[in-house]
């Protein structure tokens, strides 16, 4: 089996394509990936995390269900696929058996994370509705293997198994190749990618240069003035919200649920859990050197949780 960790040190994995191309920041920014490949950041080792450790065992559990959906047998694929000119590498989960007329075996990738974010990554079962990161990963797989199609089997909360079909797209292949070449040039020349967000800019420029002046372009001036206007509007909105709360809260008294005459719930006004605070300094001062455990309660006070006004979901979603 190829050493995946070592392979990805000097190459880009297909799961990183969206990050390398700056299309999504779900798993880090383009700057993060550049900083990793130029030695400025150490990639976090997630090998011991439960979700990662469960990956391959869960794939074996899903395998017969996916085979039944596809009507094809699956085989593990331990081959490492590397682009002939670019530092792009693919390590697959499975390949499906060929049917008559196919030159290459389809790719089958399994997504087994049951995190609630999975619901936002995958659309309707039986479609090609996957997020940009998964789409580019599958296109990378089809580019490197020559497979005409990649199937994504996703285990989502429920649990529910969904299956997606991603057809190879030559235009996306060209975009991937151009994007990887452009990104790797930045790595080789030690040139940081242009930041596109506040977080990326903060990573690149962590300190200011005293006295340095930047003359704003016309677009920057417009953006700064628009930002100032939005901040002023937000401040007015916050004042208006506080005035409304001042009118609402006194009327609620010690009520738990607020509803209309017809029984439609509008909000709740409930306290959070009580918290306990121990004055350890006083306890140690009066009972040095070792305070008896049974005295802790005497120096512990209970603070009632603050009541929180929570609007009904129907109101929060209302325009």
Q: What is the pLDDT of residues 160-205, one digit of tens each?
A: 899 999 999 999 999 999 999 999 999 999 999 988 888 888 888 8
Quickly state the pLDDT bin for 4 (edges 50, 70, 90). very low
Conformational region of residue 39, where left means phi above 0, alpha means psi within -120 to 50, and beta covers everything else = left
Helix axes 30-37, 170-188, angle to 10 degrees: 50
In a domain, 300, yes or no: yes
Domain co-membership, 236 together with 269? no
Q: Which of 189, 181, 141 is nearest to 20 (CA)?
A: 181
**Same domain as 239, residue 263:** no
- Provide the CA 282 distance to its chain's centre, in angstroms: 45
Query: What are the DSSP calls for 120-135, one per residue?
Result: HHB-STTS--B-HHHH
Kindly state the DSSP code that residue 307 receives in the 8-state scheme. E
pLDDT at 228: 97
- Whether the ω angle into residue 131 lies within 30 degrees of 0, i.e. cis, is no
pLDDT score for 6? 47
Q: Indicate whether 238 belongs to any domain.
A: yes
* 311 domain-assigned: yes
Q: Which long-range contacts (CB under 8 A, 24 or more apart) does 196-200 make?
A: 196/22, 196/30, 197/25, 197/29, 199/29, 200/29, 200/30, 200/31
Judge whether 210 lies within some domain.
no
What's the rounded mean pLDDT across residues 262-267? 93
Q: How many domains does the chain have?
A: 3
Closest CA to 121 of 47, 18, 257, 37: 18
Residue 209 in domain: no
Least confident among 119-123, 288-292, 311-315: 288-292
Output the six-digit token pair for 114. 């049951």
**Do 89 and 8 reside in the same domain of the chain?**
yes
Report CA torsion sign: 70, 72, 78, 80. Answer: negative
Same domain assignment for residues 258 and 268? yes
225 lies in the same domain as 289: no
Q: Do 144 and 82 contact (CB within 8 A), yes or no?
A: yes
∠ CA 184-190-195 to the nearest 5 degrees? Answer: 80
Q: In what order do the strands lie in the sheet with 88-91?
A: 12-13, 88-91, 80-82
Mean pLDDT, rounded, of the chain? 86
pLDDT over 50 (residue 141): yes
Higher-confidence position of 32 and 174 = 174
pLDDT at residue 1, rounded to an integer? 42
Same domain, 171 and 299: no
pLDDT at position 100, please?
Answer: 83
Whole-number pLDDT of residue 254: 92
With contact defined as beta carbons under 8 Å apart, do 278 and 296 qualify?
yes
pLDDT band at residue 3 under the 50/70/90 scheme: very low
Burial of 89 (C-beta count, 10 Å sphere; 0-12/13-18/19+): buried
Q: Return the closest-CA partner of residue 73 out of 114, 108, 40.
A: 108
Which of 25-39, 104-118, 181-195, 300-314 is the most confident on average?
181-195
On whether both 191 and 271 belong to a single domain, the answer is no
Q: From 134, 159, 153, select the one nearest 68 (Cα to Cα).
A: 153
Percent of the chain with pLDDT over 70: 85
Residue 129 has a CB neighbour count (10 Å cut-off) of: 14
Tell me, what's the pLDDT at 115?
Answer: 60
Q: Look up the domain containing 240 and give its range.
A: 217-252
Domain assignment present for 211: no
Interior angle at CA 156, CA 159 and CA 110, nearest 5 = 110
Each residue of 215-224: pLDDT tens digit? 999 999 999 9
Give dist(CA 161, CA 3) in Å, integer: 29
179 and 223 co-located in one domain = no
pLDDT value of residue 170: 96
Does residue 72 lie in a domain region?
A: yes
Mean pLDDT of 96-116: 84
């Amino acid at each position: 089996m190829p050493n995946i960790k070592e392979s990805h040190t000097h190459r880009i994995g297909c799961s990183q394509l969206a990050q390398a191309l700056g299309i999504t920041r779900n798993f880090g920014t383009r700057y993060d990936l550049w900083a990793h490949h130029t030695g400025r950041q150490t990639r976090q080792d997630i090998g011991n995390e439960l979700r990662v450790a469960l990956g391959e065992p869960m794939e074996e559990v899903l395998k017969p269900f996916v085979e039944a959906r596809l009507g094809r047998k699956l085989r593990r694929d331990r081959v490492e696929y590397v682009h002939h000119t670019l530092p792009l590498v693919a390590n697959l989960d499975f390949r499906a058996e060929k049917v008559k007329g196919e030159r290459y075996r389809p790719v089958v990738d399994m997504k087994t994370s049951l995190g609630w974010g999975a619901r936002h990554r995958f659309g309707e079962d039986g479609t090609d509705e996957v997020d940009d990161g998964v789409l580019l990963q599958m296109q990378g797989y089809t580019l490197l293997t020559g497979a005409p199609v990649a199937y994504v089997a996703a285990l989502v909360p429920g649990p529910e198994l969904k299956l997606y079909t991603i057809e190879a797209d030559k235009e996306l292949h060209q975009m991937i190749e151009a994007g990887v070449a452009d990104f790797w040039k930045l790595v080789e020349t030690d040139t940081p990618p242009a930041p596109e967000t506040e977080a990326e800019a903060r990573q690149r420029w962590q300190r200011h240069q005293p006295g340095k002046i930047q003359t704003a372009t016309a677009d920057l001036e417009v953006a700064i003035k628009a930002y100032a206007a939005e901040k002023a509007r937000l401040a007015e909105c916050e004042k208006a919200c506080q005035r409304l709360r001042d009118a609402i809260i006194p009327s609620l008294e010690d009520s738990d649920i607020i509803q209309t005459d017809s029984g439609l719930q509008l909000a709740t006004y409930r306290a959070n859990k009580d918290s306990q605070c121990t004055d350890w300094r006083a306890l140690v001062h009066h009972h040095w050197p070792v305070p008896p455990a049974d005295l802790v309660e005497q120096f512990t006070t209970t603070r009632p949780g603050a009541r929180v006004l929570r609007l009904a979901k129907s109101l929060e979603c209302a325009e």
